[in-house]
Chain A
Amino acid sequence: MNKKKSPWKSLAMALAFTAAAVGGALLRDQADVGLPISNLGTDQSLTIFASKDLEPDIPEGDYFYYLAELLKDKFVEPVKDDQKLAVGAARGMIASLGDPNASFMNPEQYKAYLLGLTGDYEGIGVELKFEYSKTAMAQLEKEDAGLDPADLVPKLVVSAVVPGGPAETAGIRPGDQIEAINGRYVLSTDSVLKFRAEAKAIRTSKADRATIDLKLRDLQERAKNGTTPMRAKDLAVLGTTGEARIRWVRAGQSHEASIPKRRTTWQPVSKMPDGTIRLTLIKGAAKQLATAIGNAKSVKLDLRNSTQGDSTEVAKCLAVLAPDGSYGEFVTQKGNKPVPLTIKGGRKPPLAIQIVADGSTRGAAEILALALKNKLKVPIQGPPMAGERVLVEASPLPDGSGYLLPTSTYQFATKASGAQKS
């Protein structure tokens, strides 16, 4: 043996042994975990899925298990993937809420949704929303209208257009209603009522039976040539090739155009020639906003055409614009403890803010505007905003689909007056 052992050599050996042990432990980690979870995404919901025993036992769980086993055992076709049963359950539960802000999205739709949060759009470059017709709702309440809840089909309405995107270029604007797509009209409660009224008029007309029969048959054919608003939305916002033939109405006037589908990018912040800053609360908005404002003493924010939003950007943008403090709270209708919207590390030098908004200011943008208005008395120019202050949470499911769940609404409460209406 070498008697003159260098201390450096011993240290290197000790290090090598330690490294070997740590390497072994790391490899063991991998053996125990299996494939990395990261290929499923990093969302918290998925981390929960990957770990066992986190969900407590509930009778509904046993019930689901029993039904799933029954189907796997008895259904005429083999059930190859029982995850699709769980995904089906999610779809059923979300649909049962009957909430236009809650939605289930298949993998393709969910992917497009997540892309939209970062400003990347497919299709013709629009944000679409489902809107229930107020006249139809009123008619539903009148008993003899012959409407039942199943007849309630929402209208498909443009909530925002990607600046410079194909839809905007073709002339589509927020507030427009999509009336037809690719030659099929978009079904809505209004169209159901219209067809009914037409059928009644034909039936009670003085024409002979053969003519009435013919006219009703023609009406039936026309009624069949429709598509649901949900499917119409997919046709407009999914895909990056080909085109969609869209007919839209604004103020009673119909317009029609073939609009190409392609990938478009929406910048969260853009500075107009007059210095106004157009802001949409997609990912990265706060960072760009800070750069755009710089050392300015005043800023004019244009929050129109802003519906898509990442709720985490609200607080970040507030911190760029406003000093520390409490800016209202998020509440539920279940009596949960309100969650305050608090800013820490906010802006120190004073900033005079002006806001321009209208009916196309929704969700995250509307919450931001209200927080500034109520706390700092920031003036808001323009017609009323959309009145949508719902905070929506996205959750992925193992097959790549996902769902949106409204979790709270924003309100600004002062100790003296309670909730303020804006």
Chain B
Amino acid sequence: MKKLLHLVLLVVAAAMCFSLGFAFRDLSKGRMPTAEPISRLLGPKAKAPQATATQVFKHTFNKILRDYYKPVDAAELKYAAMQGVMGALGDPHTVFMEPKGTKEFMKETSGNIDFVGVGARLLPDELGARVMTVFKSGPASRSGVMPGDLVVGVNGKAVAGLEIDKIVSQIRGPEGTEVTLNLVRAGGAKVELKMRRAKVIAPTVDGFVVDGTDIGYLMIAQFSENSVAQFDTVVQDLEAKKIGGLVIDLRNNPGGRLETAVELLSRFVADKLVVKMKFRDGKEQVERTYGDQLHAFGYPVVLLLNEDSASAAEIFGGVLKDYGLATLVGDHTYGKASVQNVWFLSDGSSAKVTIAHYFLPNGKDIARRVDEEGQYLSGGIKPDVEVALSLAPGTVFGDIRFDNQLQKAIEVIKNKRQ
């Protein structure tokens, strides 16, 4: 009995020593031991004491700045790091923009493409350049340049045989300086028009009647705030010329404002679903067309699209396709299917982040998929009539002589009318 008591005492004493050892860290720092370290030991398996993401970042950032054998610009290194952070999410539309890129981005989305020039869109021609459209109230328009005019000389120097880019750069110059265009009119008359270069705003919507047809061509470069009014004006002008069909060109249209696309779609269809957006928190939001903005297009409408048609342009095309209101001609579209928001950061940089996925009225997911080499696999809107653009030189959008996709669109309209 005595022996047993002795043993128990011994065990208790040993246990006390053990506890003392266990709690020594606390006692030596003058605080009462708690049960917390015990629960850490016995409780659910604690995670490895991993450094936080911020610590890992700071460590790497400091290491490169300190140990790389060449001088490194800290600001550039920071920007590169943030690009890498966004890149880690694997979404090509979630991007970091440094201050310079942020400024450019804001200029682009403000809706105006402005530059200094005379305000005309030119097409290549063997004799020089052909005037495709003249921007309203620009220098060229004010001095009487007309669509269809042939530019054969700039400041008295012949431009025949020059590439279109070279001719354009001769016409452009500092704001306020003068330039003279030597033109040949449709009837063969030669005219010389002097104009003063100025800041011109390229309209986001432009149009004309295609040579030798009664079919209108309307190009939407991007969906910006002023596109709606411009669209209405161009349609009005074309209808005044009694068109019997309309080609809406959305090729290379990168998108823009969703609101604008919704408003333009309201010309075609009343009070219908445009897109359903699904956000991170599970919330859904739908965009519908307005009920009171319908326009009577009393003729076939064909859309031209290609792989550089993205975002709002795809929505515009996809919605008209889903409701059977237009025939789509060209290539498959990009396949964006997501909505971004931009946050401006303290140093003038910004973060463009995908915040939602969207789905078209038929519910299909059009998100772009690529293989491990980055090559397109699937996604985007498939056109009703697939035709690839000719790669041969001289192929310019809207030039009926060489633009084989436009040729196809016109053929489709003509077939529909029969």
A residues contacting B by CB (< 8 A) are 13, 16-18, 20-28, 30-35, 37, 39-40, 45, 48-50, 52, 55-56, 58, 60-61, 63-68, 70-71, 74-79, 82-97, 99, 102, 184, 203, 209-210, 212-213, 216-217, 220, 224, 226-228, 231, 331-334, 390-391, 393, 395, 397-398, 403, 405-409
Contact = CB atoms under 8 A, between A and B. Distances in A.
A332 B68 CA distance: 8
Given A24-B19, A60-B81, A35 B47 contact: yes
Given A24-B22, A61-B57, A89-B85, A74 B69 contact: no
Contacts of B343: 70, 74
A397 B60 contact: yes
A55 B62 contact: yes
B22 A25 contact: yes
Interface string B4-23: 00000010011101111111
B67 interface: yes
Most buried by A among B54, B86, B341: B54
Please tell me the size bucket of the interface on B: 35 or more
Interface in B78-94: 78-89, 91, 94
Given A74-B341, A76-B280, A212-B392, A27 B41 contact: yes
Nearest to B94: A75
Contacts, number: 276
A401 B279 CA distance: 32
B59 interface: yes
A144 to B, nearest CB: 13
Nearest to A85: B85
A17 B21 CA distance: 10
A58 B60 CA distance: 12
B372 A231 contact: yes
7 A-B pairs with least C-beta separation: A92-B84, A88-B88, A24-B21, A96-B80, A21-B21, A24-B22, A86-B56
A76 B58 contact: no
A154 B270 CA distance: 55
A189 B288 CA distance: 49
Nearest to B280: A76
Interface in B237-263: none
Nearest to A204: B393
Interface string B341-381: 10101110001011111000000000000001101000000
Given A92-B84, A93-B80, A21 B67 contact: no
Contacts of B79: 96
B157 to A, nearest CB: 22
Contacts of B84: 88-93, 95
A405 B64 contact: yes
B55 A49 contact: yes
Contact of B393 (A20, A34, A212, A391): A212
Name which of B22, B84, B87, B354 has the most chain A CB atoms within 10 A of its CB.
Answer: B84
B351 A213 contact: no
B29 interface: no
Contacts of A226: 373
Contacts of A231: 372-373
B391 A220 contact: yes
A33 B345 contact: no
A333 B94 CA distance: 36
Contacts of A220: 391
A216 B394 CA distance: 14
B63 A405 contact: yes
Contacts of A406: 68-69
Nearest to A45: B59
Nearest to B346: A63
A393 B67 contact: yes
B391 A216 contact: yes
Given A13-B10, A32-B37, A398-B50, A209 B390 contact: yes
Interface in B13-61: 13-15, 17-25, 37-38, 40-41, 45-61
A267 to B, nearest CB: 31
B89 A75 contact: yes
B54 A71 contact: no
Contact of B280 (A18, A32, A45, A78): A78
B100 interface: no
B77 interface: yes
A332 B67 CA distance: 9
Contact of A31 (B21, B37, B279, B390): B37
A31 B40 contact: yes
A55 B58 contact: yes
B411 interface: no
A60 B78 contact: yes
B55 A64 contact: no
Contacts of B396: none
28 contacts: A21-B17, A23-B21, A24-B17, A26-B21, A27-B41, A28-B23, A31-B38, A49-B50, A52-B51, A56-B62, A58-B58, A61-B58, A63-B82, A63-B345, A63-B346, A64-B82, A64-B85, A89-B57, A89-B81, A89-B82, A93-B61, A97-B70, A97-B72, A210-B392, A212-B393, A403-B60, A405-B64, A406-B69
B58 to A, nearest CB: 4
Nearest to B64: A93
B374 to A, nearest CB: 9
A210 B275 CA distance: 40
A75 B69 contact: no
B32 to A, nearest CB: 15
